[in-house]
Amino acid sequence: MGSSIHPTAIIDSGAQLGENVTVGPYAIIEDHTIIGDGCSIDAHVKIARYTTLGPRCRVYFGALVGEEPQDHRWKDGIVSFTEIGADTVIREYVTIHRSPFEGKKTVIGDGVLLMAFVHAGHDVMIGNRVTIANQTALSGHVEIGDGAIISGFVKMHQFCRIGTLAMISANNVLVQDVPPYCLMEKNGYIVGPNTIGLRRAGFGNEQRAAIRHAVKLFFFNGLNAKNAVREIMAGTVTPEVANFVRFVTSTSRGIISGNPDTIFDAKEDKA
């Protein structure tokens, strides 16, 4: 099956389209764009210049991908980029902006799902297999690790980071970092590890127990961050625990607090 380009679509001569690409009515694809094989671009979508879509992406009605940033530092003529990985789904009216800085990138990984009305600001870095639900807004320079799940109507301050396989409940406002493997409830606190997410990702009992122990020491044992890290590193340091420690010790905005009402049962550390 070959490509299917609607006659009302506007495709710049400087755009590069792969094989078996579908472009719907009134879509706009600007110059210096690369559209991978098997991509589907719905009606009234705009793919702005300096954007790359990996193979098999699907962009739904009204989405705006790679547009100039909402930033006072932006100047006409700056060459910056938006890179979208393979098999990523961009739903209705999603907006994704490129960097205001020469040569910099906004990057979204493979297998990502951005639900309707999500906004990804300039210089955002989203890992692979991330799911972000409706109406969530990522300010500039936000970083999200692989496999994270962000619920709807979440608002994130500039430079916040969400770690690998973390899960954020709906209606939260983030002004600090959420470490890998953690669950942030709607009250704005960390309440423990993302146990269900870890199981779905194939983590075994020993891996989950090590993560749970690290989360318990860092958030719920009454220790300051420095002493908590010392206690964690004195125990079993699996690759996941090492990732957790790297994240919490490299924060610039600080780490979201743990819920003081959370109680850990010792038996659960073996779960």
196-270 fold: Udp N-acetylglucosamine O-acyltransferase; Domain 2 (1.20.1180)
> Does the pLDDT of residue 270 top 60, yes or no?
no
> What torsion do the CA atoms of 230, 232, 233, 239 make, to the nearest 10 degrees?
-150
Active-site residue, selected from the candidate residues 54, 111, 121, 140: 140
Instruction: Tell me the pLDDT band of 265, cut-offs 50, 70 and 90.
Output: low
Q: Which long-range contacts (CB under 8 A, 24 or more apart) does 265-269 make?
A: 268/212, 269/209, 269/212, 269/213, 269/216
Lowest pLDDT segment from 73-87, 175-189, 224-238, 252-266: 252-266
| Cβ neighbourhood burial of 49 (10 Å; 0-12, 13-18, 19+) | buried
- At 260 the pLDDT is 78
- At 2 the pLDDT is 82
- At 187 the pLDDT is 83
Q: Which tokens hold the place of 14? A: 């400087």
Domain positions in the chain are 4-141, 196-270
Instruction: For residues 251-257, give the mean pLDDT.
Output: 96
CA 236 from centre of chain: 29
- How do residues 34-89 score in pLDDT, each as one tens digit? 999 999 999 999 999 999 999 999 999 999 999 999 999 999 999 999 999 999 99
Rounded distance between C-alpha atoms, residue 195 and residue 95, angstroms: 31
Q: Does the annotation mark 71 as catalytic?
A: no
CA 217 from centre of chain: 27
- At 264 the pLDDT is 61
Instruction: Tell me the pLDDT band of 1, cut-offs 50, 70 and 90.
Output: low
What values do phi and psi take at 137, rounded to 5? -125, 125
Q: Does the annotation mark 157 as catalytic?
A: no
4-141 fold: UDP N-Acetylglucosamine Acyltransferase; domain 1 (2.160.10)
- At 186 the pLDDT is 81
For residue 122, CA distances in Å to 28, 132, 258 come to 21, 17, 30
Active-site residue, selected from the candidate residues 42, 123, 146, 177: 123
Mean pLDDT of the chain: 95
C-alpha angle with apex 200: 199 to 204, nearest 5 degrees?
A: 35
> Does the pLDDT of residue 180 top 80, yes or no?
yes
- At 35 the pLDDT is 98
- At 271 the pLDDT is 43
- At 171 the pLDDT is 95
Q: Does the annotation mark 122 as catalytic?
A: yes
Global pTM value = 0.94
> Which distant-in-sequence residues (6+ apart) come within 8 Å of 207 by Cβ?
198, 238, 240
- How do residues 125-174 score in pLDDT, each as one tens digit? 999 999 999 999 999 999 999 999 999 999 999 999 999 999 999 999 99
Rounded distance between C-alpha atoms, residue 182 and residue 166, angstroms: 5
Instruction: Tell me the pLDDT band of 253, cut-offs 50, 70 and 90.
Output: very high
> Does the pLDDT of residue 19 top 80, yes or no?
yes
Active-site residue, selected from the candidate residues 97, 119, 122, 141: 122
Instruction: Tell me the pLDDT band of 266, cut-offs 50, 70 and 90.
Output: very low
For residue 3, CA distances in Å to 17, 20, 41, 49, 262 come to 9, 4, 11, 21, 55
